[in-house]
A and B are shown apart, each in its own frame.
Chain A
Amino acid sequence: MNDAMNVLVDLAVIAMLVVGISRFRTPRGARFGNHAAGLALAAAILLVLVRNGVTDPITVALWTAAGGLVGVWMALRVDMTRIPGMVALQHGMGGVAAFLISALELVHGGSELGAVGKASGYLGLAIGAATFSGSLLAAAKLDNRIRQAPTRLGGHNSLLATLAIAIVCLSVASSTFDGPALAIGVGLLVVLSASFGVLFAMRIGGADMPVLISFLNATAGLAAAFCGVIIQNRLLIACGATVASSGSILTHVMCKAMNRSLANIFLGATGAARPATGSGSPSAVPAASPAAEGPTSSAAPGTPLASVKAADDRPLADRLHDVARVALGARRVIVVPGYGMALAQAQFAVVQLTRRLEEMGKEVRFAIHPVAGRMPGHMNVLLAEAEVDYEKLCEMDDVNRDFPDTDLVLVVGACDVVNPAAIHTPGTPLSGMPILMAHTARHVAVCNLDARPGYSGVENPLYRQSQTTLLFGDALETVQGLRQAVDAAAAKPAAGAGVPAVAT
């Protein structure tokens, strides 16, 4: 094949990818889009195999089959609540591929690479290795294999800066090396870059994970693009750049949804270490942090607020009954899901409850905050798996104006995203963050684990509003209990409010 032909074929593959991505507007289109992208990639691979061939097909086939089979096997059996961990693992594997290819090309290519090739090689190596280790750490956190709490070392930022300088210096030095010295330099660079990734990711925790996972998406793409420069492959550069831009967009969307800057999240620019409780997280042991004392010191995480407790200390059954009666009289209901729902695996119970309410003729929708859960879109896939029509999954901006005209809001495992302090109290870590306006609804029922503040550490005034009923406990049990209460209340519509009506 001649050069013009190659360019045409590359363009065809890229066009197919573009068509695929552009179909990601609706779920139906996305099915086609994914197939189109898959086809484009298959064509690209075939093309390279035809153009260049492989000298050792059996080794290549074995390695490829091994990786591919494990990937598909994991993809088919992973639970939707664990999707964020799985995606983080994929980012990490992308990083591994990128740094290994860069390293091998650097060592083998030697002086033939030229300045551009070498520079790209070292960039791909460093970014790939840091993406790899950072992603594995993120995946471990997201799967709750290790605590989600941020871990901070003394002088964390200076350590990061020192490492970064060391990586740059060693890269420059290695580029003049040859033979074994070059191999050692490259190996050392992998170790340094991987340490950088660990240091970088370790102090990001809990509700900031959506930003980290989006950012790693971008760096994995960037590393791939640099790989493309070393091997002078236009397709790889184009694909890497597309992924990098996708990750950048998602990172930006996540930052905007938290009203925080990237520097604030990654470098702790304000120094405000946040207590590390995911909303409704059972393992929540807030990290004591002097910096967070300011506006949140009164919130003494871990002990339910006196005011919250005093508001309603009747048995849970009575409160469930109250909410059930509100639900029966409601016309419009909105569910606000959060990470706590995923942790409690309550999504199917929630959908069961909403089906019951819909059967009674009520309008039920779900209000999805952009950073609800642990990755962009997390709540949407969870609820899609539970067979909720996607038209009922509403974006924040679309649903917010409807809250005042909503009879009942059911908060399930969400805290910060419905915290009115973000609007009414200046100077807290949440201030200015866009929230779901649940507090403007006629009645709110909170099915969270306890009264502890969310990840931000900011006490939630919603809990103390008169129209709020607190249903603390395991969200799965609470929601199931609520459905039984609704059934029981529906069975005897004339019964007085004082009758304990929870089904046995």
Chain B
Amino acid sequence: MLDLTLMLLVFGLSFAIGYVLISRVPPLLHTPLMSMTNAISAVTILGAFLLFAGDVDGTTRVLGGLALATAAFNLLGGYAITNRMVRMFRSPGAGTKSRV
């Protein structure tokens, strides 16, 4: 029962801290925020690694592998796309004379 309490506590605290922090993110950055949180939720990859920590049967090799691949897709893809987006935002005054 202690485990459940602890896990609920972790969930509740994280939700609350996340709520406070993310309420302050300006709409300007909502798209990069969403892609970054996608990368964060891809820590499910930890669960996928654990599937490969013990004996690995054929099913796990395939389905667990798919879980690894999809989580890695999100983790690296989410990081890369967020990085690409936030770098596009130009600070005032800079870059007004370049292309287009």
A and B associate in one complex: yes
Residues in A lying within 8 Å of B, measured CB to CB: 14, 17-18, 20-22, 24-25, 27-28, 30-31, 33-35, 37-38, 41, 44-45, 48-49, 52-56, 59-60, 62-72, 74-76, 78, 80, 83, 86-87, 90-91, 93-94, 96-98, 100-101, 103-105, 107-108, 116, 213-214, 217, 220-221, 223-225, 227-250, 253, 348, 351-352, 355, 358, 368, 370, 375-378, 380-381, 384-391, 393, 395
A100 and B75 form a contact (CB under 8 A): no
Pairwise interchain contact B53-A25, C-beta atoms closer than 8 A: no
Given known A-B contacts A49-B49, A72-B80, A237-B10, A376 and B44 have beta carbons under 8 A apart? no
How far apart sit A224 and B72, CA to CA, in the bound complex (Å)? 14
Chain A's closest residue to B78 (CB) is A90
* A31 pairs with B86, CB closer than 8 A: yes
Q: How far is the CB of B43 from chain A (nearest CB, A)?
A: 5
- Chain B residues near A358 (CB-CB < 8 A): 96
CA distance A97 to B44 in the complex (A): 7
Cβ-defined partner of A24 (8 Å) among B12, B25, B44, B96? B25
A249-B19 CB under 8 A given contacts A71-B74, A83-B31, A370-B27: yes
CA A20 – CA B17 in complex, angstroms? 13
A100–B48 CA distance with the chains assembled, in angstroms: 9
Given contacts A71-B72, A235-B46, A246-B33, 14 further A-B contacts (CB under 8 A): A21-B21, A34-B86, A37-B39, A55-B52, A59-B61, A68-B72, A83-B81, A94-B44, A223-B44, A231-B47, A246-B37, A253-B30, A378-B31, A386-B100
Known A38-B79, A377-B28, A390-B92; judge A238-B41 contact (CB<8 A). Answer: no
**Are A25 and B24 closer than 8 Å at their CB atoms?**
yes
Q: Cβ of A66: which chain B residues have Cβ within 8 Å of it?
A: 69, 72
Q: A224 and B100: CB pair below 8 A?
A: no
Alpha-carbon distance A429/B46, docked complex (angstroms) = 45
Some 21 contacts from A to B, beta carbons below 8 A apart, are: A20-B36, A21-B18, A41-B39, A41-B79, A44-B46, A49-B49, A56-B52, A71-B78, A97-B45, A97-B74, A98-B44, A116-B4, A228-B7, A228-B47, A234-B7, A237-B11, A238-B14, A242-B14, A245-B19, A246-B33, A387-B99
Is there contact, CB below 8 Å, between A101 and B91? no
Nearest opposing residue in chain B for A249, CB measure: B22
The listed residue (B18, B35, B90, B95) touching A242 by CB distance below 8 A is B18
* B contacts, CB < 8 Å to A: 3-4, 6-7, 10-19, 21-56, 59-61, 63-96, 98-100
Pairwise interchain contact A97-B48, C-beta atoms closer than 8 A: yes
Task: Give the complex CA separation of A351 and B97 in angstroms.
Answer: 12
Interchain CA distance A31-B83 in the complex, whole Å: 6
Q: Is there an interface contact between B53 and A381, defined as CB atoms closer than 8 Å?
A: no
Chain A residue contacts of B95, Cβ below 8 A: 387, 389
Name the residue on B nearest A230 (C-beta): B47
Q: How far is the CA of A60 from the CA of B63 in the complex (A)?
A: 12
Pair A384/B96 contact, Cβ less than 8 Å? no
A67 and B72 in contact, given A27-B89, A381-B88, A384-B90 (Cβ under 8 angstroms) = yes
Query: B69 to A63, Cβ gap below 8 A?
Result: yes
Beyond A27-B89, A71-B80, is A236–B100 a contact (Cβ under 8 Å)?
Answer: no
Q: Are B38 and A101 in contact (CB under 8 A)?
A: no
Which of B39, B42, B93 is the one whose CB lies under 8 Å from A97?
B42
Q: Given A37-B40, A93-B70: A385 and B88 within 8 A (CB)?
A: yes
Nearest-CB distance from A78 to chain B (Å)? Answer: 7
By the criterion CB–CB under 8 Å, are A71 and B23 in contact? no
* Shortest beta-carbon distance from A389 to chain B in Å: 5
CB distance from B25 to the nearest CB of A (A): 5
CA distance A63 to B32 in the complex (A): 26
Write the nearest CB–CB distance from B18 to chain A, whole angstroms: 4
> With a CB–CB cut-off of 8 A, which chain B residues contact A62?
65
CA distance A225 to B8 in the complex (A): 10
Residues in B with CB closer than 8 Å to A348 are 100
Contact B14 A355 (CB under 8 A): no
Q: Nearest Cβ in chain A — how far from B13, in angstroms?
A: 8
- How distant is the Cα of A56 from the Cα of B62 in the complex, in angstroms? 13
CA distance A232 to B94 in the complex (A): 48
Also in contact, A225 and B46, with CB within 8 A (given A37-B36, A59-B52, A103-B63): no
Closest to B45 in A: A45
The 6 A-B pairs with the shortest beta carbon distances in the complex, nearest first, are A71-B77, A67-B69, A27-B89, A377-B30, A376-B30, A67-B72
Of A31, A52, A68, A375, which contacts B87 at CB under 8 A? A31
Q: Using Cβ atoms and an 8 Å threshold, which residues of chain A touch B77?
A: 68, 70-72, 74-75, 90
A56-B61, A237-B14 are known contacts. Are A24 and B33 too (CB-CB below 8 A)?
yes
Query: Known: A245-B22, A389-B94. Is A67-B40 also a contact (CB below 8 A)?
Result: no
* Distance between Cα atoms of A385 and B13 in the complex (Å): 36
Judge whether A236 and B44 touch: CB under 8 Å. yes
Question: A144 vs B57: C-alpha distance in the bound complex, in angstroms?
Answer: 40
Distance between Cα atoms of A351 and B29 in the complex (Å): 20
Given contacts A37-B40, A94-B70, contact A104 B60 (CB under 8 A): yes
Instruction: Collect the chain A residues with CB atoms within 8 Å of residue B7's CB.
Output: 116, 228-229, 232, 234, 237
Query: Is B27 touching A75 in the complex (CB atoms < 8 A)?
Result: no
B43 near A86 with CB under 8 A, answer no
* Contact in complex: A245, B15 (CB < 8 Å): yes
B28 cross-chain contacts in A, Cβ below 8 A? 27, 377, 380, 390, 393, 395
Asked whether, in the complex, the Cβ of B43 is within 8 Å of the Cβ of A384, the reply is no
Q: How far is the CA of A270 from the CA of B31 in the complex (A)?
A: 30
Q: What A residues does B70 contact at CB under 8 A?
A: 67, 93-94, 96-97, 100
